[in-house]
């Protein structure tokens, strides 16, 4: 029997594995990640699955069916800094709850089910995201394993320290045809479902994203002696860039642009900042709109740097295009929502998800669950147990009625 109470308790249990005292931060291949993996492995085994951690650190549970291709479910187990406890975790725990309900009834389906707890979707520790789902999709360039974190530790070294063998990466990739579809339950992280009084929604597409890093090189100097007209202040230049990026994003209602992280060096009160590094994150439901925004941002940042006589380096960290959900899967999800007695609300996802990577090997679908005020990437992120119940019931109904395309 599905238990929404257990879903909520398990999200709470996972939230206790955090590097942040009094809050939730769990990054890829950390001690906290290992502890969360152990919890999830246990829950998967209790639900009748074979469960293990793959070579890139994903937790993978498999519930055999009468035939080979699997219906893949899941979400991510890593979090942003000072995160909410449902972004990612709700999808993993709800999928396990659905398999547990099948196992309790000793019910097997015409297809296998895999539940994956992806190790890295947020990309907080290393400046690259979706390592787990890209590896499963066979879309991870081994060179990426050289990427280092703020402490200079490479992904390869972190994998080894976690007890994993990077050489096993090639075995993580699924063969084409082995995954019939990927379906993810996730909180909406937006205000639409709440505004319309709906517990769940069917996602139409996942917006594309561009993540960039800008380094401005000015000249450090004495804050008390350098006249204003002789300064090459990297932080003042960055401040002008941030407002330019905001202006570019505001120019189109479908576009969003964020400077989420900025660091000024050397970072002393009486030193003119010599170097500044900041990030840019653009999202849009149309790739050409996002590319245009990236082009405008590059031009404006370079013009500001030139005007202020500061050096400028712009790196593209990662880009993933819009990932459309498959109509045949959306209609099966919609049927499940309707059968649960709710109107079917279709909506796009402004947030990125692992389905963007898995789309390389399978059609994708997403079921959104209402979250309070649409708040996410924030400890105030919250859902009700009643909505968790609707989400899990809808997902289970989708699973039990899942039909492979003719
Ligand atoms: O950034 C995102 O959209 C996702 O939370 N990784
Ligand atoms: Mn997130
Ligand atoms: Mn997420």
* 390 in Cβ contact with 338 (< 8 Å): no
The residues spanned by each domain of the chain are: 4-207+322-400, 208-320
Q: How many helices (H) and strands (E) are present in the chain, helices listed first?
A: 12, 16
pLDDT digits (tens, 9 = 90+) for 101-139: 999 999 999 999 999 999 999 999 998 999 999 999 999
Indicate if the pLDDT at residue 158 is higher than 90.
yes
Whole-number mean pLDDT of the chain?
Answer: 97
Indicate if the pLDDT at residue 68 is higher than 80.
no
pLDDT digits (tens, 9 = 90+) for 369-397: 999 999 999 999 999 999 999 999 999 99
pLDDT in the model for residue 62:
98
Atom 2 (ligand 1) nearest CA: 352
Question: In the predicted model, what is the mean pLDDT of residues 53-66?
Answer: 97
pLDDT in the model for residue 402:
97
Kindly report the length of the chain.
Answer: 406
Indicate if the pLDDT at residue 405 is higher than 80.
no
Indicate if the pLDDT at residue 348 is higher than 90.
yes
pLDDT in the model for residue 325:
98
pLDDT digits (tens, 9 = 90+) for 205-219: 999 999 999 999 999
Interior/surface letters 183-203, b for 16+ CB within 10 angstroms, e for the rest: bbbbbbbbebbbeeebbbbbb
Specify the pairing of strand 50-53 against strand 59-63: antiparallel
3-state secondary structure of 139: coil
pLDDT in the model for residue 127:
85
On whether the 208-320 domain is CATH 3.10.20.740, my answer is: no
Neighbours of 115 (CB within 10 A): 30
Atom 4 (ligand 1) nearest CA: 352
**Which candidate, 139, 319, 349, places its Cα nearest to that of 213?**
319
**Which candidate, 50, 53, 78, places its Cα nearest to that of 64?**
50
pLDDT in the model for residue 66:
86
pLDDT in the model for residue 29:
98
Residue 352 in contact with ligand 1 by CB distance below 6 A: yes
Indicate if the pLDDT at residue 155 is higher than 90.
yes
Q: Which conformational region is residue 160 in: left (phi greater than 0), alpha (psi within -120 to 50 degrees), or beta?
A: alpha
| Ligand index nearest the alpha carbon of residue 77 | 3
Neighbours of 316 (CB within 10 A): 12
Is the pLDDT higher at 175 or at 315? 315
Indicate if the pLDDT at residue 334 is higher than 90.
yes
- The preferred substitution site among 351, 357, 368 for testing ligand 1, maximizing ligand atoms within 8 Å of CB, is 351
CA dist 297 and 244 (Å) reads 7
Residue 351 in contact with ligand 1 by CB distance below 6 A: yes
Question: In the predicted model, what is the mean pLDDT of residues 190-196?
Answer: 97
Topology classification of domain 4-207+322-400: Aminopeptidase (3.40.630)
pLDDT in the model for residue 25:
98
Indicate if the pLDDT at residue 51 is higher than 90.
yes
pLDDT in the model for residue 234:
98
Which residues are in the CB-under-5-Å shell of ion ligand 3? 87-88
Q: What is the pTM of this model?
A: 0.94
CA dist 178 and 171 (Å) reads 13
Q: What residue has token string 């002696």?
A: 225
pLDDT digits (tens, 9 = 90+) for 81-106: 999 999 999 999 999 999 999 999 99
pLDDT in the model for residue 69:
87
DSSP letter (8 states) at residue 154: B
Is the pLDDT higher at 313 or at 405? 313
DSSP letter (8 states) at residue 210: E
Task: Please identify, by atom number, the ligand 1 atom nearest to the C-alpha of residue 351.
Answer: 3
Indicate if the pLDDT at residue 67 is higher than 90.
no
pLDDT in the model for residue 4:
98
| Ligand index nearest the alpha carbon of residue 211 | 1
Who contacts 239 (Cβ-Cβ below 8 Å, separation ≥6)? none
Q: Which conformational region is residue 361 in: left (phi greater than 0), alpha (psi within -120 to 50 degrees), or beta?
A: alpha
Banded pLDDT at 148 (limits 50, 70, 90): very high
* 28 in Cβ contact with 78 (< 8 Å): yes
- The preferred substitution site among 375, 377, 381 for testing ligand 1, maximizing ligand atoms within 8 Å of CB, is 377
Question: In the predicted model, what is the mean pLDDT of residues 187-216?
Answer: 98
For residue 121 the two structure tokens come to: 């979707």
């Amino acid at each position: 029997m599905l238990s929404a109470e257990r879903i909520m308790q398990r999200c709470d249990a996972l939230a206790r594995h955090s590097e942040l005292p009094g809050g939730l931060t769990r990054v890829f291949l950390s001690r906290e990640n290992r502890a969360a993996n152990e919890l999830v492995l246990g829950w998967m085994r209790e639900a009748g699955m074979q469960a293990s951690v793959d070579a890139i650190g994903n937790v993978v549970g498999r519930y055999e069916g009468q035939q080979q291709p699997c219906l893949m479910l899941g979400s991510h187990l890593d979090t942003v800094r000072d995160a909410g406890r449902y972004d990612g975790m709700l999808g993993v725990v709800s999928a396990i709850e659905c398999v547990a309900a099948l196992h309790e009834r000793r019910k097997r389906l015409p297809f296998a089910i895999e539940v994956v707890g992806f190790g890295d979707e947020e990309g907080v520790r290393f400046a690259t995201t979706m390592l787990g789902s890209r590896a499963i999709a066979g879309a991870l360039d081994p060179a990426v394993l050289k990427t280092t974190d703020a402490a200079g530790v490479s992904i390869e070294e972190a994998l080894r320290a976690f007890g994993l063998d990077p050489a096993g990466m090639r075995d993580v990739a699924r063969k084409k045809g082995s995954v019939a579809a990927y379906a993810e339950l996730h909180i909406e992280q937006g205000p639409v479902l709440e505004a319309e009084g709906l517990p769940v929604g069917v996602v139409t597409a996942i917006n594309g994203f561009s993540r960039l890093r800008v380094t401005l090189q000015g000249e450090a100097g004495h804050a008390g002696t350098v006249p204003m007209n002789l300064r090459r202040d990297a932080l003042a230049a960055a401040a002008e860039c941030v407002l330019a990026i905001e202006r570019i994003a505001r120019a189109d209602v479908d576009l969003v642009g964020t400077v989420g992280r900025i660091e000024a060096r050397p970072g002393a009160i009486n030193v003119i900042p010599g170097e500044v590094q900041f990030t840019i994150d653009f999202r849009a439901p149309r790739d050409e709109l996002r590319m245009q925004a990236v082009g405008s941002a590059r031009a404006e940042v370079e013009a500001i740097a030139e005007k202020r006589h500061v050096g400028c380096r712009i790196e593209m960290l990662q880009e993933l295009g819009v990932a459309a959900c498959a109509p045949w899967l959306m209609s099966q999800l919609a049927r499940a929502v309707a059968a649960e007695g709710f109107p079917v609300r279709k909506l796009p996802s402004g947030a990125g998800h692992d389905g963007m990577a898995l789309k390389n090997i399978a059609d994708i679908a997403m079921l959104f669950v209402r979250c309070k005020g649409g708040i996410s990437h924030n400890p105030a992120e919250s859902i009700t147990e009643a909505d968790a119940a609707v989400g899990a019931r809808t997902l289970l109904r989708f699973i039990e009625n899942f039909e492979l395309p003719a």
